[in-house]
Structure 1
Amino acid sequence: MTIDFSQAPDTQVAAASGRTFLPSYDDDAPPIAPRSSLGRMTPDELFVRAGSWLAALGLAWITTQRLLPLPGVPWFLIAFFVFGILATAVTTAATGTWIDVKDRVAGAVITGLALVVGIALVAVVTYVAVKGFRPLLNLNFFLDDMSGVGPKDPFDEGGIRHAILGSLIEIGIAVAITLPLGVGTAVFMTEVGGRFARIVRTIVEAMTALPSIVAGLFIYTVWILALGNDRSGFAASLALSVMMLPIIARASDVVLRVVPGGLREASLALGASRWRTVWHVVLPTARPGLATALILGIARGVGETSPVLLTSGAAEFTKANPFEGAMNSLPLFIFGGVRSGNDVAIQRAYGAALVLLILVLVLFVIARLLARPRRTTTRPSRKARS
């Protein structure tokens, strides 16, 4: 029996001859280019992106400085961003698909908006630091209060000790009130549910846009006028609590809804009650997100002026008891210094604003450290060590 190897496929030839089949390739075919690693741009992609924005830079300069009467840096930056988006879309469409165009344009828009937010944040912090660093060079600015000190006295006299202490006391009381209430409200909306939970969620969402002056007027009307209490730091803490409560409750509700339902089902399947499931499974899993909710609440309340001004008032001396008399705070001190019109008082106000930024940053770091998940270290057993 003879086999015609010229007509048989390569596999049949290899099987009949008993040899290992090795597919042959055309020597003239180009080699397969290796794929780049995920997340890295190829030189061609980098050239297209950089070239698009360089072209946008030239088009923005020609348009705003030569063709149209649009002088100034703001118009130049706006034109540069718009032309950059258009150039990115055109160059990507010439070398890629419609999906690539949408991806590049969306990435450019998001990156540009993030840069705008970052630049604005850096500009605000830098401006406050430049205007208010001189009072911070004196140690008495942190250790003394303004009792007996005039607005035109030099920086080596007086300080903001009373304002720092008042802000810490007021925000501490507000956090102690709103944190359990806000998290408890979120647990009720997420874990209990029902018709009443939907009503509570609607009210919480509506209260997130509550003006600060309304919260101050509410506490002033109820706590001071109706119940006959005096204006104090505790009343200011209640006003801050009204503002912080919907923020913490809403953010905590979003975080708890992200917790996987399989964790709850596993805990309930092991015989745990719903309360133990929430306390030992749901809340520890959502602890980093709950810390973020607390940070958002503190950021909302620590810089408010109008509710504190209505419910507490300002004092130029140190007050440690929040239940007796007026208690100053950093926002009130800043407000009073800026509206005075005196250069020295205005610089003190900028110094207090810089201290407020530092204080908020410290509180944020502490909240993050407390919410960091614990590291579980497993020790080897005796058999493994032996």
Structure 2
Amino acid sequence: MIASAVAALLGLALFLTGHRSYGLFAALYAPVYTVTLTVVSGVVEGWRHAKDRVATALVTMCFVLALLPLVSVLAYTVLDGIGRLDWYFLQHSMRNVGPRDDAGGAYHAIVGTLEQVGLATLIAVPVGLLTAVYLVEYGRGRLAKAVTFFVDVMTGIPSIVAGLFILSAFILLFGFRYAGVFGAMALAILMIPVVVRSAEEMLKLVPDALREAAYALGVPKWKTVLRVVMPTALTGIVTGVMLAVARVMGETAPLLLTTFYLPSINMNPFYQPQASLPVFVWTEWQKGLPIATERAAAGALTLILLVMLLNLIARLIAWWKAPKTDR
């Protein structure tokens, strides 16, 4: 209480002297609060308790500092995009909409994002899960080490490199045209290492006693993995998959290189360019007009809501399919 009172008095003094900067107050509040807390706690409780309180205060301040960018981005997106986000915005595309027209929506981009991320998930999840099962249950020797090494390398690949690979391998080399499926391939490359790493850690957490019990009953290893290990680790695996989906759903660079952008609705991800929410946000933002900036913020807010909705659905499915235990 005393430390908070001293810090509040500091804020009052800054206000009275004309320094009304929130940044200055925050920059001075933390050290003043920490020093005051240390001195008061050392005098009243002893220096051993003072060290504990200082450590707690520092951890709390670091947490707040880490949380500030996230809260700032969310606040900016909500405040700028909530006014434009309505049913009209969700049900119309940008076809025949000029840069200064107060019209248009992100329906075409929503369709493109859902199809591209869905295809990427269909590609990445089976590959990632099977790779994780191999590394945990079967992998031994040089091949397993090589797979682990390449997964670690893929984890650090920049997103634009994945887009350049698909662009050069399919569009430039074989002459295919821009299409949503190639964006899905680029996103799948980024998803696979995340799925592998998360699923691998979840499979390692399954107790060996469950496997040994299944083996003792004569259950083959492949059926043990399928019927015992996978259901036990399902909740963590779903969480890892959703982390991978959230990681790629906002990628812009690989989609610019592989799917391009189309202001009209294209339901076929295998034919012609296709829009996506990240590219929609980037396209509208670069116009530099107030109405376009509002559309960009509404598109970003739609993307956040989509990730939250998919995460909720995935958690409900994991809860439904998770093994139930009778108490």
TM-score (norm 1): 0.76
Cα distance 1:377–1:183, how it changes in 2: closer, same or farther (>3 A)?
Answer: closer
Q: Does 1:327 align with 2:278?
A: no
Give the alignment of 1:258-297 within 5 angstroms: 258-297=205-244
The Cα offsets for residues 174-225 of structure 1, whole Å up to 9 and x where unpaired, read as 0111111111111111122322222212221222121111010011111212
Q: Percent identity at matched positions? A: 37
Q: Does 1:177 align with 2:128?
A: no
Match of 1:126 in 2: 75
Q: Is the 8 A contact 1:61 1:76 kept in 2?
A: no
Structure exhibiting the larger radius of gyration computed from Cα positions? 1
Match of 2:100 in 1: 152
Give the alignment of 1:222-237 within 5 angstroms: 222-237=169-184
Which runs of 5 or more structure 2 residues have no equivalent in the other structure? none
Q: Which runs of 4+ in 1 moved over 6 A?
A: 59-62
Cα distance 1:86–1:229, how it changes in 2: closer, same or farther (>3 A)?
Answer: same
Match of 2:22 in 1: 73
Q: 2 CA distance for matches of 1:252 and 1:321?
A: 31
Cα distance 1:272–1:229, how it changes in 2: closer, same or farther (>3 A)?
Answer: same
Moved more, 296-305 or 102-111: 102-111
TM-fit CA distance, 1:237: 0.3
Q: Does 1:193 align with 2:144?
A: no
Cα distance 1:183–1:375, how it changes in 2: closer, same or farther (>3 A)?
Answer: closer
Moved more, 328-337 or 51-60: 51-60
Moved more, 107-116 or 145-154: 107-116
Q: 1 CA distance for matches of 2:227 and 2:42?
A: 53
Relative contact order, higher structure (CA 8 A, sep 6+): 2
Which runs of 5 or more structure 1 residues have no equivalent in the other structure? 1-49, 380-386
Match of 2:283 in 1: 336
Q: 2 CA distance for matches of 1:255 and 1:52?
A: 44
Question: Which letter maps to 1:153?
Answer: D
Structure with greater helix percent? 2
TM-fit CA distance, 1:377: 8.0
Cα distance 1:264–1:88, how it changes in 2: closer, same or farther (>3 A)?
Answer: farther
Match of 1:32 in 2: none
Match of 2:299 in 1: 352
Question: Which letter maps to 2:227?
Answer: H
TM-fit CA distance, 1:152: 1.0
Q: 2 CA distance for matches of 1:241 and 1:88?
A: 50
- RMSD between superposed Cα atoms in Å: 2.7
TM-score (norm 2): 0.88
Match of 1:162 in 2: 108
Question: Which letter maps to 1:109?
Answer: L
Q: Is the 8 A contact 2:136 2:200 kept in 1?
A: yes
Q: 1 CA distance for matches of 2:222 and 2:51?
A: 47
Q: 2 CA distance for matches of 1:375 and 1:185?
A: 23
Cα distance 1:304–1:378, how it changes in 2: closer, same or farther (>3 A)?
Answer: closer
Cα distance 1:216–1:51, how it changes in 2: closer, same or farther (>3 A)?
Answer: same
Match of 2:193 in 1: 246
TM-fit CA distance, 1:57: 5.1
Q: 2 CA distance for matches of 1:161 and 1:203?
A: 38
Q: 1 CA distance for matches of 2:216 and 2:31?
A: 56
Question: Which letter maps to 2:189?
Answer: V
Question: Which letter maps to 2:146?
Answer: I
Q: Is the 8 A contact 1:183 1:252 kept in 2?
A: yes
